[in-house]
Structure 1
C-alpha cells in the first residue's frame, strides 16, 4: 500500500500507474475519457453491469472507476484461467457486451484510438483488448471486463478474433509454452469460443481470415510502440523472441488456415 493506495498490477500501457482506493480505481485517463465514460454508463443503462462504472476524475485529471472484485490471470497464466468453463464464460461475456454495445450510439467525434481498431471500421464500439489481464473471474468464470482504453468502432467479429488470439491462444506452440499451460488444443478451443459466443455460420466462415488480419494489426501496434522507444514494449519484444516470434506465429496461422476453418464449420 502506498500513499496513492494499493497498486494494481497487470498490463503494459499503464504499468505502475493504477491504484485502488477503497471502492474506486484511479488510473491515467485516456484522451477520450469523457466519451468512454458516457459509453460505459450507457452499457450499464442497457443492463450490462460487467464493466467498471465511471465515478469522475481526480483533481489532477486521473479517472476514477469502480473496483470490480475477483481474480485476474497474469502471465504465466494459471491452469484455472484456461479451462473449458473459463473459455466458455469469456465467449458468453463477450456476446453480452456486444448485445448491449450494439444499442449504444458511437460518438464519432470522440477520437477513438486506432491502435488495435478494426481497419474496416463499424457502427458498434468493440473492446479490442479482451486479454486475460482484462477479464475478472470469480469461481473460475468470467464476470467482468476491464480496461476499455483501446475501445473503438468495429465489427463484432473483429472483437471475437482479437479475443481468440489471447484465449485459444492462436500462437505457435513454442510461443504459447512461455506463458500458457501445456496441452491446450487450439482448434478445439477456437470452436468452444465460437460456440459459447453464438457465432453465426457466416461469421465462422470469415473468422480465420479476420484472425490473421488482427494478428497483422497487433504486430503493427507493437512495431509502432517499439519505434517510439516504449521501454515496456522493447523489453517484451526482446524477452519474447523478437520479430522472429511474430514471423513464426504468422506462418503457423497461415499453415493451419484450413484446419481452423474445419474446426469452426464441421
Structure 2
C-alpha cells in the first residue's frame, strides 16, 4: 500500500478479516475501519483514561473507510505457534491482561446507541465491553508475557466470563488432540492449562463453575460466524475451513468439549 504522502507501508501479518490490508507506517498502523469506529475509538480512549494502556490509541477520526492507530511493538504468535507462546508464563499473562481490560472497562459504559458487532458477542449480553477475539494474532508479547491487545473490531458488551471462554478456545487451546496437533507439536494438557488461564485471570468460583459450558456456547457462536462468512463466499474463510478439516473438525471439537465437560469442571474447582 502507498500512503497519502507516497510512502509505502509495511504489511503486517496475522488475522483473517483484514488479511493483506493492514500496514505499519512508522509509529502508526493504517487499517480498514469498522463501521462503528467512532464509538469504538471513544471507548479505547476512555479505557486509557481509566488506566488501561495496553491497547492501540486512535489517532484522529476514521477517514475514507480507514483508521490510524498507534503501533504497539512486540511479538505476535502465528501458527505453528513458537514455544514461547505456549509457556505457563505466557498463558498466565494472557489471563492477567484480560482481567486488566475488564477492570478498566467496568468503569467505562459502552455507548448505548452504538451498533456494536454481534458476530462473536455474548448472546446473553452484559455490561462490560469484551474483546471477543483474544486469539494469538491479537495479543502482543514482550519478554514472553502478554503486554497488549490489538484489533478490537469485534468488541461488544457481554459477561467477562464470555471473554475468558473465547480466550480459552485459542490459548489453552480447547481442541481435541487431533485438532491441537495442527497448531503445536506437543499435545497440551488441556485441563491444566484451562486452570492456569483461570488462575491468571483470577476467575471467581461462580464463573469457574459455568466456564466449561460457556466455552461450548462460544464454540457454537464461532462456528456460526465461520458458516456465515463461508456462505457469503469469503475466500479467506473458505480456504481456512477446507485447510482445517472442514465441518467434521468442528463436529469433533464440539463433541469432545461436551464429553469432557466434567473433567474441565474438576480441574477448575480443585
**1:8 counterpart residue number:** 12
- Give CA deviations for 1:130-150 in whole Å, capped at 9, x if unaligned: 000000001100000000000
For residue 213 of structure 1, the aligned residue among 211, 217, 224 is 217
Distance 1:58 1:194 in 2: 36
**1:256 counterpart residue number:** 260
**1:24 counterpart residue number:** 28
**2:137 counterpart residue number:** 133
**1:174 counterpart residue number:** 178
Distance 1:6 1:181 in 2: 31
Q: Counterparts in 2 of 1:181-196, with a 5 A limit? A: 181-196=185-200
Distance 1:89 1:155 in 2: 20
Contact 1:222–1:233 (CA under 8 A) maintained in structure 2? yes
- The answer as to 2:64 corresponding to 1:69 is no
For residue 41 of structure 1, the aligned residue among 45, 52, 58 is 45
Runs of at least 4 residues off by over 6 Å = none
Distance 2:47 2:16 in 1: 26
Distance 2:152 2:35 in 1: 12
For residue 249 of structure 2, the aligned residue among 240, 245, 254 is 245
In structure 1, list runs of 5 or more residues that go unmatched.
Answer: none
Contact 1:52–1:67 (CA under 8 A) maintained in structure 2? yes
For residue 148 of structure 1, the aligned residue among 144, 152, 155 is 152
SS at match of 2:120: coil
Post-superposition shift, 1:108? 1.7
In structure 2, list runs of 5 or more residues that go unmatched.
Answer: none
Distance 1:50 1:186 in 2: 27
Distance 1:160 1:151 in 2: 13
Distance 1:66 1:145 in 2: 12
Post-superposition shift, 1:68? 0.2
**1:201 counterpart residue number:** 205
Distance 1:17 1:79 in 2: 28
Contact 1:79–1:181 (CA under 8 A) maintained in structure 2? no
Distance 1:100 1:188 in 2: 28
Alignment size in residue pairs: 266
Post-superposition shift, 1:60? 2.6
